[in-house]
Amino acid sequence: MEEYVFTTARRKALNKTRKKWMNMSPTSRQKAMPPKNKHPSKKLPVGSYVTIDVGRKGHHYVVAKKTKYGWTDSKLRTKKQLAKKAVHARKTWMKMSPKARAKAMPNRKKRR
């Protein structure tokens, strides 16, 4: 395969796709995703990413990200950057006290 070059045309096409995703309803966005990303039994959890393969090894660019308040537009990030962020998030989480963790996850049901 030829070496991947991020041309202006490709960047424009990528931005166009991103805009299209952002204007979709969550249901239609889920339907449009490839089968491996579908969760038929449950909605996508907060923190999920919608990525697209741009034909460059190890580069799946993030198109949209699900937050507590819905889907947000996000900067284009590579898998490597996402992996680093995940490691950082895990470290931060482990340093937190149980009380702080409970506060950070308001959607979780508390045990009695």
pLDDT of residue 35: 61
Of residues 72 and 1, more confidently modeled = 72
Global pTM? 0.28
Q: CB under 8 Å to 102, separation ≥6 — which residues?
A: 108, 110
Query: CA distances (Å), 91 to each of 50, 67, 84, 87, 95, in order?
Result: 24, 20, 11, 6, 6
Return the amino acid letter for 7: T
The answer on pLDDT for 37 being more than 60 is no
Question: For the chain, what are the domain ranges?
Answer: 8-104
Give me the residues paired with residue 12 across strands. Answer: none
Taking all residues of the chain, what is their mean pLDDT, rounded to a whole number? Answer: 72
Provide the 10 A C-beta neighbour count for residue 104: 11
Q: Which residue type is seen at 50?
A: V
* pLDDT at position 82 over 80: no
Altogether, the residues listed in the chain come to a count of 112
Of 75, 83, 57, the closest CA to residue 4 belongs to 57
